[in-house]
Amino acid sequence: MKNIKIVSLTACIAWVFSLMLFSSCSNDDNNTEATGGGPVIESVSPSGYNEDGSMKPLTPVTIGDPKNYYVIHGKGFLSTTKIYFNDFDTYFRPTFVTDTDIIVLIDENTPYANASNQLKVVTAGGTATFDFMVAPPVPTFSSFNLINASEGDEVTIKGKYFLNPVVTLAKTATLPAVPVTIVSSTLEQIVVKIPANANFRTLAVTNISGTAVAKEAIGTALYDDELYGMQWGGPWAGKGVNFAFEGDAYQGNKSWRWEFGQWDGGNWGFNVDMTPYKALRVAVKGSKNGRVNFSVNGGTNYVIPVTTTWVYIEIPLSDLGNPTSVTMLTFQESNNDGGNTVLFDDIGFVLK
């Protein structure tokens, strides 16, 4: 499949390049460089194939995506020495240059924030500029905190590529998207104020390139910087349990650090109706590889794998005995090699 894509792209470039040559040959009498004029950029169009295999039309655009090919159309390009997108020196093949057209790939490292939003073509005859924006990648949504937020609370969203972001409560099958007020934003962090009726809704961040949606829904956490709704419980052996460990976190700023002795564990009591949910979620990281036995209400045992990097897991309720409520969670270290120190975070539920 990879070879087919390469061949297709090559064929497409050859097709576009043939048009360029035809255009160049048909305009020999008006060659700008021969008459001493400077270069002129008239349009920029995408080149290549769409995901469905159809060829992209040569339709002028003013926004481009990194790692995609574009045709710069104009005149006076034969002696091109440099091409810049947002002042980023961009590689081009001289064989893909005619007097009227250039095929060029926008480099994935091209800056997109606080940029000039200009394309420049430098030739022996001068420099042509053209208003052109390089789009950021689709945003990524790594976390938001606190998950159990209420109306009016300020919540911090973390991720990447938050250029001119728009934040909403994401659209559902039955509810429209709801705008969320942005208090402040950078490229990697947004502070928002939670609107009314946000419980069980997910946050979405949109930039010019696309949308990212949080994995967690508002109000679905059992642990997020603190343990929610615990009515009783504790470790069996009295080993160290720290609900506010600030040394490492998967979600938010803190995690639940548990120093397990061999086969040590504990029970924690809650009272949660499981009607809205289909799974339980948890993020886990250990000081060494291992495993933790986990169960709900003393029922079916589920083995959580532990590695030295954070691993996010969604456990279907069917793997936990299909509980209709959660009255007790049990964790037990089961390495059988002397114990482990395990961090837990983002414990909660996944909506149906």
CA pair distance 58, 321, nearest whole angstrom:
57
- Report the alpha-carbon distance of residue 103 to residue 172 in Å, rounded: 42
Q: Are 69 and 48 in contact (CB under 8 A)?
A: yes
CB 125 within 8 A of CB 38: yes
Tell which residue, 48, 54, 95, 94, has the closest CA to residue 67.
48
Query: How do beta strands 232-235 and 325-333 pair?
Result: unpaired
Are 24 and 99 in contact, with CB atoms under 8 Å apart? yes
Sign of torsion, CA 249 250 256 260? negative
The pLDDT of residue 32: 44
CB 280 within 8 A of CB 270: no
Single pTM value for the model? 0.80
DSSP 8-state symbol, 137: P
Return contacts of 92-99, CB within 8 angstroms, 24+ apart: 96/13, 96/17, 98/20, 98/21, 98/23, 98/24, 99/24, 99/27, 99/31, 99/32, 99/33, 99/75
DSSP 8-class letter at 287: S
User: In tens digits, what is the pLDDT along the chain, a chain of 352 residues?
Assistant: 333 344 344 445 544 544 444 444 434 444 444 445 799 999 999 998 777 877 878 899 999 999 899 999 999 999 999 999 999 999 999 999 999 999 999 999 999 999 999 999 999 999 999 999 999 999 999 999 999 999 999 999 999 999 999 999 999 999 999 999 999 999 999 999 999 999 999 999 999 999 999 999 999 999 999 999 999 999 998 778 999 999 999 999 999 999 999 999 999 999 999 999 999 999 999 999 999 999 999 999 999 999 999 999 999 999 999 999 999 999 999 988 889 999 999 999 999 9
Q: Yes or no: say if 48 and 10 are a contact pair by the CB < 8 Å rule.
A: no
Which pLDDT value is given to residue 48? 80
Residues 6+ apart with CB under 8 A from 252: 143, 145, 146, 147, 224, 225, 345
Q: Contact 304/291 with Cβ under 8 angstroms? A: yes
Q: For residue 54, what pLDDT is reported?
A: 79
Distance CA 60, CA 37 (A): 24
The CA R_g of the chain, rounded to the nearest whole Å, is 28
User: End-to-end CA distance of the chain, in Å?
Assistant: 36
